[in-house]
Amino acid sequence: MKPISEIDAEILLVEDSPFDAEIMLLRLKKAGYAERTLWVKSGEEALDYLLGMGDYAMRNRQLNPKVIFLNLFLPEMSGFEVLHLLKMYDWTKSIPIIMLTNSTEETDMMDSFAKGVVCCIVKPLSQEGLARALAELERLWQPNHLLPV
């Protein structure tokens, strides 16, 4: 399910679980963001989209999403691997990343922050958790705020 054209995506949701993705999309819809969200199902597809490869080879890489919701525990390529690769490229390293995880392990949270995520949300996703993440994004999107690089 791709609710919008990949060219218009302001939010990239990287989630392999259809159930978790649907919950996230419903929460984003309730917050008024669903129509600007692109859902991809793997780390590989996220990288293809962001780097303009594969099915997304014609995508303009200068039109990056404003935020990425990234599942930590993706099959084949973990969220940490995706995060590491995104921080290597000039055109993707400043995109704020919110880590989605089933883990309540403090080490997973600390590793996420150390690797550059702006927020962690423990699944199952609550409306309150999403509201906190969106409030952080609003702060990051302020014109005078310098994004981390």
- pTM attached to this predicted model: 0.80
Q: What is the DSSP letter of 64?
A: -
pLDDT digits (tens, 9 = 90+) for 76-134: 999 999 999 998 988 888 899 998 888 777 887 788 888 888 888 777 666 676 677 66
Domains observed in the chain:
6-140 (3.40.50.2300)
Share of the chain above pLDDT 70, in %: 79
Q: Dump strand ranges (E) for the chain.
A: 11-14, 37-40, 67-71, 97-101, 119-122
| Parallel/antiparallel/unpaired status of strands 67-71 and 97-101 | parallel
Contacts of 38 (CB under 8 A, 6+ apart): 2, 3, 4, 6, 9, 11, 12, 13, 49, 65
- For the cut 90, the answer to whether the pLDDT of residue 61 exceeds it is no
- For the cut 60, the answer to whether the pLDDT of residue 143 exceeds it is no
Q: Between 105 and 46, where is the model more confident?
A: 46
Share of the chain above pLDDT 90, in %: 21
